[in-house]
Each structure stands twice: as structure tokens, then as C-alpha cells.
């Protein structure tokens, strides 16, 4: 019997479990980032919205004993300039050719710091690499020390930050080639 979580591509039928996991993880993210939960759109997403994302993007889930305990979504971005904050961001983004974007990264609390998040991130990066990506982008609260360090250890650097959503939100990039 295998005692480790399996990482697989999510199906629409996973949406209720993924939605529950995201809500829980995002509440912790808010607390760790020092931001109000009212500022995070992920907390207002319906199960139907999560199902729609699963149907349109590559969403990976970690499943253990029939329960989804981690998730991450990655999609190709046709125009990375939509993430422009400033001239600094623009200068970086205009050099990119094939870019992917990571969102809705979550791990159930009792599985954090077990390597599961590392495995999910590695699989998402592998998806992008296999599709010929030269870079991956993601947003995170720049005040969330744990997440900023986690992303840095995976090769992401802070490109720029802005405050349009009421908190310091960073744009992070990982150049794959």
C-alpha cells in the first residue's frame, strides 16, 4: 500500500474538494500575509467557478486516501503584459516569449512543510517546461515571508510589487531558459 499522496490532473468532479481546500489555505495565507480576507478574491469563488478553472487550465491536485490535500493551477499566458505594474515590470515582461502563470496554489495545513508543496510546484514547473515555456509568473503577497522564501527556493524572483488591491502584491518570475 502506498502511503504518499498521488499528484494528478484535476477533474471537474474534484471542484468541491478543491474549493474547500482553497478557502482554508487562503484564510491562512491572509493571516500570514497580514491582509484582510475581504481583499482576496479566491475566498469568494464558487464551486462552479473552481470547476470552470479546472476545465480551462491545467490544475494539479495531490490526493491522499481519497481526499484532495493540495492543488495548483498553471496556464499559458498569451499576453504577459496584462501583469504590468510599472515600467520596470514592462521591461521584464516584454522580453518573454512563452509564459505560463501559476495560481491557486494550496496545501492542507497538516501537510505543509512535508515536501508536498515542493512536489506540486515541481510538477507545475514540469508542465510549463514540457510545453516549451521560457518563464513562469505568479502573484503573492510580498509581506508573506514564508511564501516569498518558498518561491525563491524554487527559482522565482520578485520582479515588481504594487498595492492596487489594498495590500503589497508581488509579481514573481522564474526564467526556465
Average pLDDT over residues 51-67: 97
Contact 73, 103 (CB under 8 A): yes
Q: Residue 158 in 3-state DSSP?
A: strand
Average pLDDT over residues 46-72: 97
In whole angstroms, give the CA distance from residue 139 to residue 133. 18
115-135 residue pLDDT tens: 999 999 999 999 999 999 999
Average pLDDT over residues 166-175: 92
Weakest mean pLDDT among 74-78, 92-96, 97-101: 92-96
Determine whether domain 6-175 maps to CATH 1.10.287.1080.
Answer: no
Contact 40, 22 (CB under 8 A): no
Average pLDDT over residues 50-56: 97
Instruction: List the one residue out of 41, 19, 40, 18 whose CA is nearest residue 31.
Output: 40
Contact 42, 22 (CB under 8 A): yes
Every domain of the chain and the residues it spans: 6-175
pTM for this structure? 0.93
72-83 residue pLDDT tens: 999 999 877 777
Average pLDDT over residues 167-176: 93
Find residue 72's DSSP bridge partners: 60
Q: Does residue 42 surpass a pLDDT of 90? A: no
Look at residue 1 in the predicted model and tell me its pLDDT. 39
Q: Does residue 2 surpass a pLDDT of 70? A: no
Look at residue 9 in the predicted model and tell me its pLDDT. 98
In whole angstroms, give the CA distance from residue 61 to residue 18. 8
For residue 103, the tally of other CB atoms under 10 A from its CB is 15
Amino acid at each position: 500500500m502506498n502511503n504518499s499522496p498521488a499528484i494528478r490532473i484535476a477533474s471537474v468532479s474534484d471542484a468541491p474538494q478543491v474549493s474547500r481546500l482553497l478557502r482554508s489555505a487562503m484564510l491562512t495565507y491572509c493571516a500570514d500575509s497580514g491582509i484582510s480576507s475581504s481583499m482576496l478574491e479566491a475566498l469568494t469563488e464558487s464551486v462552479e467557478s473552481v470547476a470552470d478553472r479546472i476545465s480551462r487550465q491545467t490544475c494539479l491536485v495531490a490526493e491522499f486516501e481519497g481526499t484532495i490535500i493540495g492543488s495548483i493551477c498553471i496556464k499559458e499566458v498569451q499576453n504577459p503584459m496584462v501583469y504590468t505594474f510599472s515600467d520596470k515590470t514592462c521591461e521584464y515582461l516584454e522580453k518573454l516569449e512563452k509564459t505560463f502563470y501559476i495560481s491557486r496554489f494550496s496545501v492542507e495545513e497538516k501537510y505543509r512543510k512535508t515536501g508536498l508543496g515542493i512536489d506540486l510546484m515541481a510538477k507545475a514547473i514540469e508542465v510549463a517546461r514540457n510545453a516549451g515555456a521560457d518563464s513562469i509568473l505568479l502573484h503573492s503577497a510580498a509581506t508573506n515571508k514564508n511564501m516569498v522564501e518558498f518561491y525563491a527556493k524554487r527559482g522565482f524572483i520578485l520582479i515588481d510589487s504594487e498595492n492596487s488591491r489594498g495590500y503589497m502584491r508581488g509579481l514573481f518570475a522564474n526564467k526556465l531558459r
